[in-house]
Amino acid sequence: MTKYTDQGKQDTRSGFGAGMTELGRTNPNVVALCADLIGSLKIETFIEENPKRFFQVGIAEANMMGIAAGLTIGGKIPFASSFANFATGRVYDQIRQSIAYSDKNVKICASHAGLTLGEDGATHQILEDIGLMKMLPGMTVINPCDYNQTKAATIAIAEHHGPVYLRFGRPKVANFTPVDQTFEIGKALMLSEGTDVTILATGHLVWQALLAAENLENQGISAEVINIHTIKPLDDKAILDSVKKTGCVVTAEEHNYLGGLGESVARVLATHHPTPQEFVATQDTFGESGTPDQLMEKYGLNNKAIEAAVLKVLKRK
């Protein structure tokens, strides 16, 4: 299998910040909004270089989403940023009516998604955001896997007309995708070909899937790993092509199994090619305080959990 190398741990939110810096220099229509979390979102450079194109809204996320919708009227491309919890659940109706239903070209950029923001606990973690956002008609949902891909995705969504939910995280994780890889919305990326099982992973779980695949290979199991960075629109063809070959699938995500990637995959499979599937995801629970690694271990979201799911699904073939 293809070997991927960690080029040095970085946080995906810094990838977002780097993408914003580049957009600030290349696309004069891009504007940014933030709700009192500039440092956490890593957009200091964008603000420093484009002070008139940045709007500090204070701790007022509902107003931020409305202002972002309004800024599109006049041709601006607003990137509205906060923690994933406050950028989705807290302001669901504002996103629904003023952005999604009104077809506004707003990019909702959400850091600290999932469990891995760690010690702040469940009030600041969110494991429901993919479900909330993917249910909105017309909303594109993207969950990149590392620094390089988050930067590329940030730049790519500016060229896409329509509302986008871009989800990323806080911890420093392996940065392994090529720095020059172009980001194509809705196009799954084959990371490692295999024949026995398909692992469909998104976000932080992609690296864990690669680690799992390596271990499985040592046990004589050939796992195909696909990076599903775009959960909506889902790359049905890439998924079906793979499972037709392998005959079973494991989905892996830092999200509740209800409403996440796994359910989207299950819909595709049930409709076109019923296939045994196991879900690596949280089990309808809130999170809690702890270090990112402790939380991923406790809630079953690491390479070991993926390996166990693979062994289980192989028996169901």
Partner 1 sequence: MPKTEELQDLVVQVRRDILRMVHKVNSGHPGGSLGCTEFFVALYNEIMDLKDGFDMDGIGEDLFFLSNGHISPVFYSVLARKGYFPVEELNTFRLIDSRLQGHPTTHEGLPGIRVASGSLGQGMSVAIGAALAKKLNGDDHLVFSLHGDGELQEGQNWEAIMFAAGNKVDNLIATVDRNGQQIDGGTEDVLPLGDVAEKFKVFGWDVLEIENGNDLKQVIAGLNEAKSRTGKGKPVCVVMTTEMGNGVDFMMHTHAWHGKAPSDEQLAIALEQNPETLGDY
Whichever of 104 and 255 has its CB closer to partner 1, that residue is 104
* 49 part of the interface to partner 1, by CB under 8 A: no
From 74-82, 166-174, 290-298, 301-309, give the range in contact with partner 1 by CB under 8 A.
Answer: 74-82
How many residues touch partner 1 under the rule CB under 8 A: the total is 32
Phi, psi of 247 (to 5 degrees): 85, 0
Nearer to partner 1, 98 or 150 (CB): 98
**Residues 13, 97: Cα–Cα separation, whole Å:** 27
List all residues 6 or more positions away from 198 whose beta carbon is below 8 Å from its beta carbon: 223, 224, 226, 239, 242, 243, 245, 246, 248, 249, 250
Q: Which of 84, 85, 191, 207 is nearest to 142 (CA)?
A: 84
Binding test (CB under 8 A) with partner 1, winner from 49, 101, 233, 283? 101
- Residues 276 and 221: their CA atoms lie apart, in Å, by 17
- Pick one of 70, 276, 290, 300: the residue that binds partner 1 (CB under 8 A): 70
Q: Is 74 in the site for partner 1 (CB under 8 A)?
A: yes
Reported residue count of the chain is 317
C-alpha separations of 257 from 94, 131, 141, 236 in Å: 25, 9, 16, 19
209 sits near partner 1 (criterion: CB under 8 A): no
- CB of residue 280 vs partner 1: minimum separation in angstroms? 36
Residue range at the interface with partner 1 (CB under 8 A); choices 11-19, 90-98, 167-175, 292-300: 90-98
Give yes or no for residue 52 binding partner 1 (CB under 8 A).
Answer: yes
Least distance in Å: CB of 117 to partner 1? 24
Examine residue 24 and tell whether it contacts partner 1 (CB under 8 A): no
233 forms beta bridges with none
Catalytic residue numbers, as ranges:
61
Which stretches does DSSP call E strand in 188-307?
Answer: 189-192, 197-201, 223-227, 230-232, 249-256, 277-282
The site map against partner 1 for 102-121 (x = CB under 8 A) is xxx-----------------
Beta bridge partners of 173: 10
**94 near partner 1, rule: CB under 8 A:** yes
Q: Rule CB under 8 A: say whether 73 interacts with partner 1.
A: yes
- Residue 86's identity, in one-letter code, is F
Binder among 57, 126, 239, 295 for partner 1 (CB under 8 A): 57
Q: CB of residue 47 vs partner 1: minimum separation in angstroms?
A: 15
Write the binding mask 257 to 296 for partner 1: x where contact by CB under 8 A, - elsewhere. ----------------------------------------
Could you say which of 15, 17, 19, 66 contacts partner 1 (CB under 8 A)?
A: 66
**Helical axes 205-218 vs 303-314, angle rounded to 10°:** 60
CA dihedral (130, 113, 230, 159) positive or negative? positive
How many beta carbons lie within 10 A of that of residue 309, not counting itself? 23
User: Can you give the binding site for partner 1, defined by CB under 8 A?
Assistant: 31, 52-53, 55, 57-58, 60, 62-76, 78, 93-94, 96-98, 101-104
